[in-house]
Amino acid sequence: IAAIINDELGGGIEVNVEPIVDDRSYRVDSTFFSERMGFEFNHGVRKAVKSLSRAYSGGQFIQPLKNPAYYNISQMKEIGIL
């Protein structure tokens, strides 16, 4: 994913890969969604990176580091479900 982001943003980003001890798996199997639900994914990682980059460059993220809309707990508190 880091290589795709680097490529889409024009290169020049240094990526450091460091060994860690973490046995968790973040793989996702979408077989259930495609076979049973008929759901087809139409965005890959590269397309998502392009879309996010365009949105960020276009000013669509309003104060992303401070806006509670981008933080689950803050957003839940704000709308009164937590």
Q: What amino acid is encoded at 32 in this protein? A: F
Phi-psi region of 53 (alpha: psi -120 to 50; beta: other; left: phi over 0): alpha
Q: Cβ(15)–Cβ(3) under 8 Å? A: yes
Average of per-residue pLDDT across 5-16 = 90
pLDDT over 90 (residue 48): yes
pTM over 0.85, yes/no: no
Phi-psi region of 13 (alpha: psi -120 to 50; beta: other; left: phi over 0): beta
Average of per-residue pLDDT across 47-61 = 93
Q: At 67, is the pLDDT very low, low, confident or very high (cuts 50, 70, 90)?
A: confident
Q: At 42, is the pLDDT very low, low, confident or very high (cuts 50, 70, 90)?
A: confident
Q: At 47, is the pLDDT very low, low, confident or very high (cuts 50, 70, 90)?
A: very high
Task: Convert the pLDDT of each residue in 24-33 to its tens digit.
Answer: 888 888 888 8
